[in-house]
């Protein structure tokens, strides 16, 4: 829209680099588009795929945007490279889903110096200078963790032993930090809660299946695990697979599997009793990000911190209709 000619040239080079179709030049409608450079973490989870789809559905040419979407394949250095490219291309906005919280000061400073507003989506960054980003739109991960912990408290009210296997998401990401902090705080408060182990599941089913299978092989007795606290649905799927193969029963009379995201497949597992609690993490953030950009286009200062509302589900709250109607 603003830096049309330069953008068109650079967009052409970006698209040839990423294999997309070249953009036709000299079209005045094209020149009116708002150019958004988006750096996505990757496609590690069902949640992430739904999040990318939500963005792509909103930032379309029909809606007045040219979206430059970059998949960082779980590497922060790829995200930094993409942001530098967006700066070179003089995009109008940068939307960043940061893989982890640290390490962003320099590149966000470069975006600021180039006069390009940065909107953080999903996770946060830990930077000294908050003016390096215009807004953060996503989940309150500590609140999600607290909801999970409160449910565990309600299930074990009598001081009986609660032995917990904790499988973490990508270390250093806001989702991991918030959900872990809630659990660790609760373990410190309850004498009867024991953290058996903390495993790194990296938010993926494959890694979790591997680490959980290995862990269970070395456990002396099947009675030793009460709760498996999984920091996302794909971790829960990997854990369920390992538990099943290890001969563990899940649910009310067995291991209580707690998960975050509450995607459709996790809710099905919740309805059939394999997952005891699914804490919602809403990936459908595209419309909120678009509203924020529109507000900025109109000259408004966006609300800096925008958390989305989220729910928790046990089998009691679920019906097949609710699950079928779920968008992700
Ligand atoms: O940051 C959000 C988390 O990242 C989601 O819980 C997880 O599924 C994703 O990969």
Ligand 1 atom with the smallest distance to the CA of 203 is: 10
* Separation of alpha carbons 327 and 181, rounded Å: 29
CA proximity to 22, closest of 34, 11, 30, 35: 11
Indicate which residue's Cα is closest to atom 3 of ligand 1: 175
Q: Which residues pair with 194 in a beta bridge?
A: 163
DSSP helix/strand/coil, 27: coil
Sheet of strand 193-200: strand arrangement: 193-200, 162-168, 227-230, 256-261, 277-280, 312-313
CA 75 – ligand 1 centroid, Å? 15
Q: Which residues contact 157 (CB under 8 A, 6 or more apart)?
A: none
Q: Is the CB of 280 under 6 A from ligand 1?
A: no
* Separation of alpha carbons 123 and 117, rounded Å: 17
Tell me how many helices (H) and strands (E) the chain has. 12, 12
CA 191 – ligand 1 centroid, Å? 30
pLDDT in tens, the chain (328 residues): 555 434 444 444 444 334 343 344 556 667 799 999 999 999 999 999 999 999 999 999 999 999 999 999 999 999 999 999 999 999 999 999 999 999 999 999 999 999 999 999 999 999 999 999 999 999 999 999 999 999 999 999 999 999 999 999 999 999 999 999 999 999 999 999 999 999 999 999 999 999 999 999 999 887 789 999 999 999 999 999 999 999 999 998 899 999 999 999 999 999 999 999 999 999 999 999 999 999 999 999 999 999 999 999 999 999 999 999 999 9
CA 175 – ligand 1 centroid, Å? 6
Q: Note whether 290 and 59 are within 8 A (CB).
A: yes
Q: Is the CB of 202 under 6 A from ligand 1?
A: no
CA 261 – ligand 1 centroid, Å? 7
CA 196 – ligand 1 centroid, Å? 24
Q: Is the CB of 186 under 6 A from ligand 1?
A: no
């Amino acid at each position: 829209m603003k830096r049309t000619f330069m953008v068109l040239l650079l967009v052409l080079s970006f698209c040839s680099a990423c294999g997309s179709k070249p953009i036709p030049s000299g079209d005045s409608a094209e020149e009116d588009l708002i150019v958004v450079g988006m750096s996505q973490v990757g496609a590690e989870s069902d949640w992430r795929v739904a999040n990318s789809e939500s963005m792509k559905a909103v930032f379309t040419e029909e809606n007045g945007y040219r979206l430059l979407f970059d998949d960082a394949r779980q590497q922060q250095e790829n995200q930094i490279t993409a942001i530098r490219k967006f700066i070179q291309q003089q995009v109008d906005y940068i939307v960043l889903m940061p893989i982890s919280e640290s390490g962003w000061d320099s590149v966000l400073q470069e975006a600021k110096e180039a006069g390009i507003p940065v909107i953080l989506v999903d996770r946060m960054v830990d930077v000294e200078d908050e003016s390096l980003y215009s807004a953060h739109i996503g989940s309150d991960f500590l609140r999600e963790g607290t909801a999970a912990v409160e449910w565990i408290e309600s299930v074990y009210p009598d001081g009986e032993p609660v032995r917990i296997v904790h499988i973490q998401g990508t270390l250093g990401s806001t989702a991991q930090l918030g959900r872990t902090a809630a659990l660790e705080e609760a373990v410190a408060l309850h004498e009867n809660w024991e953290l058996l182990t903390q495993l790194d599941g990296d938010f993926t089913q494959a890694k979790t299946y591997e680490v959980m299978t290995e862990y269970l092989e070395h456990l002396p007795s099947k009675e030793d695990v009460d709760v498996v606290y999984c920091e996302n649905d794909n971790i829960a799927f990997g854990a369920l697979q390992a538990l099943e193969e290890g001969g563990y029963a899940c649910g009310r009379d067995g291991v209580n599997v707690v998960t975050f995201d509450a995607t459709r497949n996790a809710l099905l597992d919740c309805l059939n009793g394999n997952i005891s609690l699914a804490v919602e993490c809403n990936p459908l953030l595209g419309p909120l990000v678009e509203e924020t950009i529109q507000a900025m286009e109109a000259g408004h200062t966006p609300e800096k911190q925008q958390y989305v509302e989220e729910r928790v589900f046990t089998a009691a709250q679920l019906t097949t209709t609710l699950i079928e109607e779920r968008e992700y």
